[in-house]
Amino acid sequence: MNVKTLQELLDVNNRNGLFSKLLEFFESLNQLQFITVGIHDTGEGKIPIINVAKNLNIDRVKHVKLFVGAQHNEYNGLFGILELLKQIYNEERSIHDILIDDQVVIFAPLMNPFGFLNPKKDNKSGYYLKNGMNLNRFWRKVFIPEFEEEQDELNNNPIPDAAKLIERILHPYWEREDIKIYIIDFHETSLLERFPRELSMELTNYYKFDHWLKKAIIKNIIDLNGVNYHGKLLFYKCNPLSDHDHVNLSIKQVDFIREKLFEYMVDNQDKLSFYFVHSRKSKEYSSRLVNIIHERLKDILWETTFPLHDHEFYEHGCLVKMNDATTRDNLYCIELENQKQFFNIFEEIERSKNIENYFQDKLDKINKSLLLVKETIIETIKSF
């Protein structure tokens, strides 16, 4: 991403202009051999879908690779896919990097056009769909219609058009269970910035760990610094019914960990925080992929002992949880989360006006996230 594109993203009153430019570029890819682009009209707006294939004869297809971006105001997937396709369009990269004889590659870079076009304060800067729902909660419902979600709002609200579109595109391949389907869903989370900061200030033996990521961050510092806790449970509940855990270490050990966490934050401030999550069914594939990517990009990624995590911590209808809920074989879903760049677009606009090196620093983090997306796409296409 360059300064101009970042400025266009921050110009929330002219998102239509940026949106039109994105669609125009995606449509221009129809000029290239082996690429077919469709712009689909939905109740949420126009959704671009890009297909890359040498042969669309389903009898010759062995693998389908789907890459999903911008379900929310999280743009690593959108602009990572955009940059990859621009490199191919401009002949800076060979189309054969994403073209293999027995594969169909599908890019869905902008799944929530309404959110993209309407980054409002009451829409969490463009997070939600037009009806205020979260698109990333409906994937079990669309692929497994009989599935009953725990939240009534998911059972009682109509399945979003964007989810139906993806199901319709995948349907011919879904029906052929000998075809392997890989889905990578690109996301960003503000928790990767907020939780380390909170823990560095508030961690004590009485701290209430109410989120899996907080525990993972502390476990990472423990492992990186060789803190000895072996022979006892690292986290425990003071009451079996409590909704939080405590760390099972001495006061001295906890003070040491808090100090090392602060040092870690300083040492990794210019690196990209991230993690992948996998389904039970995709664990083996995900481990191979993430180990390759983590090793390749270790110079720009935060130092972590948990680049990959089991998506057992939430029970909702995302693509990864859909993977384990369906009976279909040969389905492998994985999600990438990295540091969120536009949690509050209005605060970002103010920062861009008041912080001297805002654009340089913001683009540095954004472009690291886009490189992570691109490398993940290329490795998935080539290696699986």
**What are the tens digits of pLDDT across the range 104-161?**
999 999 999 999 999 999 999 999 999 999 999 999 999 998 887 776 666 778 999 9
Would you state the structure tokens that stand for residue 266, as one six-digit string? 């300083």
pLDDT surpassing 90 at residue 232? no
Specify the pLDDT at position 162.
97
pLDDT of residue 146: 86
State residue 192's pLDDT score.
96
Looking at residue 231, its pLDDT comes to 67
State yes or no: pLDDT of 313 exceeds 80. no
Quick: pLDDT tens for 7-63. 999 999 999 999 999 999 999 999 999 999 999 999 999 999 999 999 878 999 999
Give pLDDT tens digits for 319-374: 999 999 999 999 999 999 999 999 999 999 999 999 999 999 999 999 999 999 99
Does residue 301 have a pLDDT over 80?
yes
The pLDDT mean for the chain works out to 94
Chain region(s) in the chain for CATH 3.40.630.10: 3-192+272-383
Q: How confident is the model at residue 238, as a pLDDT?
A: 87
Bridge partners of 185? 68, 335
> CB of 129 within 8 A of CB of 44?
yes
Query: Rounded CA gap, 322 and 317, in Å?
Result: 6
* pLDDT at residue number 55: 81
256: tokens are: 């040491």
Q: What does the pLDDT average to over 80-93?
A: 97
Strand order in the sheet with 331-339: 35-42, 45-53, 103-108, 63-68, 180-189, 331-339, 274-278, 308-310
Q: How far apart are CA 145 and CA 142, in angstroms?
A: 6
Nearest CA to 332 out of 182, 107, 185 is that of 182
| pTM (predicted TM-score) | 0.95
What SS3 class is residue 267?
A: helix
Band (205; pLDDT cuts 50, 70, 90): very high
Whether residue 84 contacts residue 98, with contact meaning beta carbons closer than 8 Å, is answered with: yes
If you write DSSP's letter for every residue of 101-129 in order, what string do you get? TTEEEEEE--S-HHHHH---GGGTTTTS-
* pLDDT for position 153: 65
Beta strand segments in 290-359, E:
308-310, 331-339
Closest CA to 208 of 198, 194, 193: 198
* Pairing of β 45-53 and β 35-42: antiparallel
Strand stretches in 80-229, DSSP E: 103-108, 180-189
pLDDT the model gives residue 165:
98
Question: Residue 311 pLDDT more than 90?
Answer: no
Q: What's the CATH class of domain 3-192+272-383?
A: alpha beta
- Band of pLDDT at residue 167, cut at 50, 70 and 90: very high
Phi/psi for 64 (5° steps) reads -125, 130
Model pLDDT, residue 152:
62
Indicate the length of the chain as a whole number: 384
